Amino acid sequence: MNLPTRVKIVDVGPRDGLQNEKQPVPAEVKIGLVQRLQDAGLREIEVTSYVSPKWVPQMADNHEVMAGIRRDSGVRYSVLTPNLKGFEAAVLDQPDEIVVFGAASEAFSQKNINCSIAESIERFAPVVEAARARGIHVRGAMSCTVGCPYEGEVAPAKVGYLAGLMKGIGVQRVDVADTIGVGTPRKVRAAFEATLGHFGIDQVSGHFHDTYGQALANTLAALELGVWNFQSSVSGLGGCPYAKGATGNVATEDVVFMLHGMGIATGIDLDRLIDAGQYISGFLGRKSGSRVATAVLNKRG
Ligand code: HMG
Ligand code: MG
């Protein structure tokens, strides 16, 4: 086994976690969440996205949120930019990293960003070039790397194909995303192996939605390959508007508990993270989606 000794987590809660929320979440609450995440030790936070407000109304306050967060020099703040229009809007807010997001399945690409995989790469290429010219890091999210809500199972070759296209336009690192949480360890491993044909182990991260309760097992499968970058969402918030029924990312609290239990460092203070989760769950008026947070809160009494 090739287990890493430390792991870096991007909390995607403010973006992936909240994008699908039907009730309006004020910018002030999103800013409060980002603050609590960085106070808990998160060193990478996905803050918002610059997408069409008609498609994803919850992210329409991107400028306000980015302007309101108190930036810590040790933290990387990333944002989603699907095209040049989004990038031009984002750049005004000086993100540390932008994320272009494609899919390994054609149908999901169409539903999510209204274009084919090939067209998406054409749209991303000038975004990547402009970002890199300004010294902004570039990440590529790859959706549906094991399963697609419209096409079913996705072959690893499709993941490898997308990873190669991303690499070809200058994307620096990629997320292997299980958008609908149907992945199981061997399939997730195959998706990573296909990606590793194009990117090094330090340039790949796991992004697992926990719809079917497989995300921690999939995290372990990726760890065993040597993957040490993961994305998760505080309280297990979220879902994608274009993946019906898919629930949130694996809860950051659950990933941190597992890693610390395995002796793998994250730099995250679990108690403060649980407080961050309570803050947002309290606002949303629902219980935490994290098993670990629930257990710890029950013990706190
Ligand atoms: P489109 O309709 O094909 O774009 O949308 P268009 O260029 O034809 O423009 C149509 C209208 O959108 C125009 O406005 C544009 O100005 C506007 P109108 O003239 O009609 O008033 N527009 C924009 N407005 C704001 N920001 C922009 C922008 N671009 C065009 N950047 C587009 C294409 C990608 C914009 C659209 O399909 C969209 O916004 N989709 C939403 C995608 C999204 O946010 N999905 C969720 C995030 S991805 C995800 O959750 C997966 C991930 O977590 C990994 C995983 O789990 O799999 C990352
Ligand atoms: Mg996601």
Q: pLDDT over 70 for what percent of the chain?
A: 99
pLDDT at position 293 over 80: yes
**Residue 131 C-beta-side C-alpha neighbours within 13 Å:** 34
Q: Which residue has the higher pLDDT, 242 or 126?
A: 126
| Residue 245 pLDDT class (50, 70, 90 cuts) | confident
Whether 120 has a pLDDT exceeding 80, the answer reads yes
What per-residue confidence (pLDDT) applies to 242? Answer: 77
Positions marked active-site: 240
Mutating to test ligand 1, I would choose from 11, 51, 119 the residue with most ligand atoms within 8 A of its C-beta, which is 51
Mean pLDDT within 103-114: 97
Strand-pair category, 147-148 with 152-153: antiparallel
Does residue 131 register a pLDDT over 90? yes
How many CB atoms neighbour CB 263 within 10 A? 8
| Least trusted range by pLDDT, from 2-6, 133-137, 187-191, 263-267 | 2-6
Residue nearest to atom 30 of ligand 1 (CA): 52
% of the chain beyond a pLDDT of 90: 95
Closest residue by Cα to atom 8, ligand 1, is 114
pLDDT at position 244 is: 79
Whole-angstrom CA distances from 195 to 120, 177, 191 are 18, 11, 6
Distance between CA 232 and CA 293 in Å, rounded? 14
Q: Which residues of 94-124 are buried (b: 16+ CB within 10 A; e: fewer)?
A: ebbbbbbbbbbbbebbbbbbebebeebbebb
Q: What mean pLDDT is reported for the chain? A: 97
User: Averaged over 241-250, what is the pLDDT?
Assistant: 83
Q: Which residues line ligand 1 (CB under 6 A)?
A: 16, 19, 49-52, 55-56, 80, 82-83, 85-86, 101, 112-114, 141, 143, 177, 179, 207, 209, 240-242
Using one digit for the tens of pLDDT, what is the confidence trace for 26-75? 999 999 999 999 999 999 999 999 999 999 999 999 999 999 999 999 99
Amino acid at 192: F
Q: pLDDT tens digit string along 156-210?
A: 999 999 999 999 999 999 999 999 999 999 999 999 999 999 999 999 999 999 9
Per DSSP, the three-state class of 168 is: helix
Q: How sure is the predictor about 1, in pLDDT bands with cuts at 50, 70 and 90?
A: low
Per-residue pLDDT, 2: 76
- Compute the average pLDDT of residues 8-36: 97
Which amino acid is present at 23? Q
